[in-house]
């Protein structure tokens, strides 16, 4: 939109223009830092515990005020008024400068360009609070700040309070026609009415161009309006084509399968949102929903509503390329797909894609291009194409913002984006930041600012994250299998703890390792200490599995391991019922010994999958297991087989050793417990009593509770930071419990649940 000389589009993120004055000279501002002087301050507020007599939002504002007033920031008036002006605030420690506009005392009236102001939904930040405290030193300033200020020019800005609102304030010499016009669009508080948001441009076009009166409209207003208008256009297109919503007959013939109502809802949500995180529980059919979405978008493209765009790009782990190909062939064979991966496309054909003309010719007839995270990092042309839609499957692959693979994925071009993840939060709240840094860059600020925000959210209770939930909720759709309103025909899942004893050999090795660790801890510190602790934690797990895993002697006899003995007993019962099972271990070297033991029990060989299994062979292995007459057991390494595979032929899942992260274990369990499962699923979690495994199990259980409040840190890090005496107590062997045969083979039932 063009603006003539009476309407100025003002950038808040670049240098701020000097404003009109009211005849007063600007106050002199010191170039050196100076802490704001205040009246006797109230009692200091705790950063971790909210007082009972104060609301959550007021507490967070007060904390920012308390912190901001104590900072050695440097403030410079870059506007034309001593009080109601525009300022540059510099943090001498970081060297960063932020732009601030002061209009009054109330939350949401002012503006700061820092990320915290944009994401905290409080209408203030430490920089604004510092500035207000400093300005309040002027005679009569506190009263004038409470009353607010009406400059000569009229102003349109975006308020960042609990709800984003477009605000208008008429200037002191605003013509009567402008005031009358504004009343048609803005309410008595100066807030743009919701029913006028989509025709906001008509207000700008109708502003009287007389008397030289200036109307300032800030650029973030226009960005917000454009975002809302794009979303409204998408909704209008979808509503026009699907006026009955999820009941539309169009869904009946969309795929070669029937969609559950919640799956139809998911596809519609993604089409309408443009950018979203589909976080459905594992096994609820996110793949099917994406295929439905792609078919809906293809129909829109064919009808030129909206204008045609390029194909979608789907980025997946390498192990899932064949799975997506099979699902497309089964449910959406009409989708034209190109596989940018050597497992499906010859190297020569992939090399030709580097040529822009040949690439354009190939992609012109495609609905979707499927590639892997590693390929995005290695192949430049994938980052050069303006994709019509970007989709990340198992998006936790980009949870580490500093990894080269993550940076490459975030360099992909495409305005509409969808993230698929059954565990959007695995260990840290920072994982969510990294996902949204791809989905909606800038929404959650910088990584550093977001990290500071999460550390200041109090005790981790549900209310502590209210502001964050408000910010991300419009982009997230998450349904759980435990909710019977979502899907009523999924069978139950029962989790049991299988407590195993140690053999005397295991107990001896374990005890010697604890004593050896205690001696070495006295001689190490710093990063060497952390490496030492991690090495011994791994050793303790290996000894609990089988002495030979630690000794490396390949003598994997049943009698040397309590877990092997318990596994044999359990699987003899499973084999007698002619049921199938999955066995997960985090150690690749354990897959073959476990498969050998199970082959003895089932009297026939089974299947093994680990990181060394070829991508092309994985689909063949999965298909073999899924056949009714297929092998009775499947041993998988947790990282290679814990996600993306459909293994519903199994009705038993055994976690032979425990991972630190409950979300990873749940993902593995959901290979069997997912849509298509017709039997109850029994999950057996092996735990050696009296050892570190029992302590880990307790940590995992506590972490499940914290995860609901978006909280958690890696237990490995927690253990490496323990004091020596506390760490030794944690890993020490309780010999009586470890060797008690009464505990061996015992089971403790967990909750019966839907996931």
Residues 82-128 pLDDT 10s: 888 889 999 998 888 999 989 888 887 888 888 778 767 778 889 99
Are 228 and 197 in contact by the 8 Å Cβ rule? The answer is yes
Write down all domains in the chain, each with its CATH number in brackets: 7-227 (no CATH), 248-477 (3.40.50.10810), 493-502+559-716+737-753 (3.40.50.300)
pLDDT of residue 72: 92
State both tokens at 198. Answer: 């989509």
- Per DSSP, the residues of 684-740 read EEEEETTSHHHHHHHHHHHHHHHHTTT----HHHHHHTS-HHHHHHHH---HHHHH-
Cα–Cα distance measured from residue 624 to residue 629, given in angstroms and rounded to the nearest whole number: 9
Based on the number of CB atoms within 10 Å of its own CB, is 686 exposed (0-12), middle (13-18) or buried (19 or more)? buried
Residue 464's pLDDT band, with cuts at 50, 70 and 90, is: low
> Residue 391 above 80 pLDDT?
yes
Residue 355's pLDDT band, with cuts at 50, 70 and 90, is: very high
pLDDT of residue 722: 76
Task: Kindly state the average pLDDT of the residues 180-190.
Answer: 91
Residue 5's pLDDT band, with cuts at 50, 70 and 90, is: very low
Better-predicted residue by pLDDT, 396 or 371: 371
pLDDT tens track for 604-663: 999 998 888 887 788 888 899 889 889 999 999 887 876 668 888 888 899 998 877 777
| Residue 53 CB contacts under 8 Å (≥ 6 apart), including other chains | none
> Residue 456 above 70 pLDDT?
no
- In the predicted model, what is the mean pLDDT of the chain? 80
pLDDT of residue 651: 85
Residue 187's pLDDT band, with cuts at 50, 70 and 90, is: very high
Residue positions counted in the chain: 755
Better-predicted residue by pLDDT, 173 or 130: 130
For tokens 């459909």, name the residue.
646
pLDDT of residue 49: 73
With left for phi above 0 and alpha for psi between -120 and 50, is residue 416 left, alpha or beta? beta
Are 694 and 730 in contact by the 8 Å Cβ rule? The answer is no
pLDDT of residue 281: 77
Better-predicted residue by pLDDT, 645 or 23: 645
Strands, DSSP E only, in 321-421? 337-339, 368-372, 389-392, 417-420
> Residue 214 above 90 pLDDT?
no
pLDDT of residue 706: 44
pLDDT of residue 709: 38
Task: Kindly state the average pLDDT of the residues 532-555.
Answer: 90
Residue 714's pLDDT band, with cuts at 50, 70 and 90, is: very low
Task: Kindly state the average pLDDT of the residues 207-213.
Answer: 76
Nearest to 416 by CA among 297, 336, 246, 533: 297
| Residue 435 CB contacts under 8 Å (≥ 6 apart), including other chains | 277, 395, 398, 399, 419, 421, 424
Task: Kindly state the average pLDDT of the residues 493-511.
Answer: 85
> Residue 578 above 50 pLDDT?
yes
| Residue 44 CB contacts under 8 Å (≥ 6 apart), including other chains | 66
> Residue 6 above 90 pLDDT?
no
pLDDT of residue 292: 94
Using a pLDDT cut of 70, give the percent of the chain over it: 81
> Residue 13 above 80 pLDDT?
no
> Residue 748 above 50 pLDDT?
no
> Residue 419 above 80 pLDDT?
yes
Distances (CA, A) of 442 to 161, 406, 471: 17, 16, 12
> Residue 4 above 70 pLDDT?
no
Strand partners, 278: 420, 477
CA dihedral for 687, 691, 696, 701, sign (positive or negative): positive
> Residue 514 above 70 pLDDT?
yes
Using a pLDDT cut of 90, give the percent of the chain over it: 25
CA-based R_g, the chain, Å: 31
pLDDT of residue 46: 79
pLDDT of residue 37: 46
Distances (CA, A) of 717 to 530, 702, 720: 9, 16, 5
Q: Which helix (H) or strand (E) holds 652?
A: strand 652-655
Cα–Cα distance measured from residue 311 to residue 296, given in angstroms and rounded to the nearest whole number: 13
Residue 22's pLDDT band, with cuts at 50, 70 and 90, is: very low
> Residue 7 above 60 pLDDT?
no
pLDDT tens track for 138-172: 888 888 888 877 678 888 888 766 567 898 988 88
Question: pTM of the entire structure?
Answer: 0.59
Q: For 532, phi and psi rounded to 5 degrees?
A: -65, -45
Better-predicted residue by pLDDT, 391 or 5: 391
Residue 192's pLDDT band, with cuts at 50, 70 and 90, is: very high
State both tokens at 648. Answer: 């519903």
Strand partners, 338: 369
Lowest mean pLDDT, pick from 8-22, 499-513, 536-550, 662-676: 8-22
Cα–Cα distance measured from residue 86 to residue 91, given in angstroms and rounded to the nearest whole number: 17
Cα–Cα distance measured from residue 483 to residue 303, given in angstroms and rounded to the nearest whole number: 37
| Residue 636 CB contacts under 8 Å (≥ 6 apart), including other chains | 582, 583, 584, 585, 591, 608, 609, 610, 642, 668, 671
pLDDT of residue 426: 52
Better-predicted residue by pLDDT, 222 or 448: 222
Task: Kindly state the average pLDDT of the residues 270-299.
Answer: 87
pLDDT of residue 411: 92
Residue 25's pLDDT band, with cuts at 50, 70 and 90, is: very low
pLDDT tens track for 304-339: 544 456 899 999 987 678 778 888 998 999 999 999
Strand partners, 160: 164
> Residue 702 above 60 pLDDT?
yes
Question: Omega of the bond prior to 306 within 30 degrees of 0, cis?
Answer: yes
């Amino acid at each position: 939109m063009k603006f003539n000389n009476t309407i100025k589009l003002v950038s808040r993120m670049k240098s701020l223009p000097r404003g009109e004055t009211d005849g007063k000279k600007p106050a002199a501002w010191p170039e050196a830092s100076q802490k704001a002087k205040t009246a006797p301050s109230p009692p200091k507020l705790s950063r971790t515990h909210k007082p009972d007599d104060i609301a959550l939002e007021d507490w967070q504002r007060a904390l920012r005020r308390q912190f901001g007033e104590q900072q050695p920031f440097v403030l410079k008036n870059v506007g034309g008024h001593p009080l109601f002006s525009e300022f540059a605030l510099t943090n001498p420690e970081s060297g960063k400068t932020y732009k601030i506009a002061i209009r009054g005392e109330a939350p949401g009236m002012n503006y700061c360009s820092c990320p915290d102001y944009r994401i905290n939904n409080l209408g203030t930040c430490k920089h604004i609070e510092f500035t207000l405290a400093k300005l309040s030193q002027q005679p009569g300033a506190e009263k004038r700040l409470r009353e607010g200020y009406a400059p000569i020019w009229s102003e349109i800005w975006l308020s960042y309070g609990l709800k984003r609102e477009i605000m208008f304030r008429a200037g002191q010499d605003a013509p009567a026609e402008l005031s009358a016009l504004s009343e048609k669009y803005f309410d008595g508080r100066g807030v743009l009415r919701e029913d006028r948001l989509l025709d906001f441009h008509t207000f700008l076009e109708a502003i009287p161009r007389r008397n030289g009166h200036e109307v300032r409209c800030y650029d973030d207003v226009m960005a917000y309006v454009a975002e809302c208008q794009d979303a409204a256009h998408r909704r209008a297109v979808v509503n026009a084509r699907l006026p009955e919503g999820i009941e539309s007959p169009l869904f009946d013939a969309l795929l070669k399968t029937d969609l559950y109502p919640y799956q139809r809802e998911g596809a519609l949500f993604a089409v309408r949102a443009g950018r979203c995180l589909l976080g459905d529980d594992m096994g609820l059919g996110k793949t099917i929903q994406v295929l439905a979405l792609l078919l809906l978008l293809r129909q829109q493209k064919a009808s030129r509503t909206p204008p045609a765009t390029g194909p979608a790009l789907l980025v997946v782990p390498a192990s899932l390329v064949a799975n997506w190909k099979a699902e497309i062939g089964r449910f959406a064979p009409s989708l034209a797909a190109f596989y940018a991966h050597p497992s499906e496309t010859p190297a020569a054909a992939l090399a030709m894609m580097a040529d822009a003309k040949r690439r354009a010719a190939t992609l012109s007839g495609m609905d979707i291009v499927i590639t892997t995270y590693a390929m995005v990092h290695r192949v430049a042309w994938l980052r050069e194409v303006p994709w019509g839609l970007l989709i990340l499957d198992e998006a936790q692959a980009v949870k580490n913002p500093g990894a080269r693979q993550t940076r490459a994925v975030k360099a992909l071009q495409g305005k509409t984006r969808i993230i698929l993840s059954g565990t959007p939060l695995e260990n840290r709240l920072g994982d969510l930041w990294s996902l949204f840094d791809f989905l909606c860059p800038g929404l959650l600020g910088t990584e550093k600012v977001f990290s500071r925000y999460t550390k200041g959210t109090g005790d981790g209770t549900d209310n502590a994250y209210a502001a964050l939930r408000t910010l991300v909720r419009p982009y997230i759709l998450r349904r759980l299998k435990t909710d019977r309103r979502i899907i009523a025909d999924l069978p139950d899942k029962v989790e049991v703890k299988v407590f195993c004893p140690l053999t005397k050999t295991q107990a001896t090795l374990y005890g010697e390792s604890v004593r050896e660790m205690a001696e070495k801890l006295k001689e190490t510190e710093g990063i060497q200490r952390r490496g030492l602790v991690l090495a011994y934690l791994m050793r303790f797990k290996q000894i609990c599995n089988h002495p030979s895993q630690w000794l490396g002697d390949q003598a994997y006899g049943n009698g040397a391991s309590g877990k092997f003995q318990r596994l044999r007993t359990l699987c003899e019962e499973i084999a007698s019922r002619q049921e199938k099972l999955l066995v997960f271990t985090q150690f690749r070297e354990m897959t073959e010994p476990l498969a050998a033991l199970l082959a003895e029990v089932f009297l026939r060989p089974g299947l093994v999958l680990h990181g060394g299994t070829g991508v092309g062979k994985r689909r063949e292995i999965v298909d073999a297991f899924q056949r009714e007459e297929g092998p009775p057991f499947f041993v998988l390494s947790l990282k290679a087989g814990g996600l993306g595979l459909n293994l519903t032929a199994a009705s038993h899942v055994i976690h032979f050793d425990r991972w630190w992260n409950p979300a990873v274990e749940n993902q593995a369990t959901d290979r069997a417990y997912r849509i298509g499962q017709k039997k109850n699923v029994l999950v057996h979690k092996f735990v050696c009593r009296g050892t570190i495994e029992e302590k880990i199990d307790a940590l995992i259980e506590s972490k499940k509770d914290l995860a609901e409040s978006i909280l958690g840190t890696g237990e490995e890090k927690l253990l490496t930071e323990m004091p020596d005496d506390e760490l030794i107590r944690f890993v020490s062997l309780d010999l009586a419990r470890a060797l008690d045969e009464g505990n061996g083979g015992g089971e403790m039932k967990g909750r019966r649940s839907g996931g």
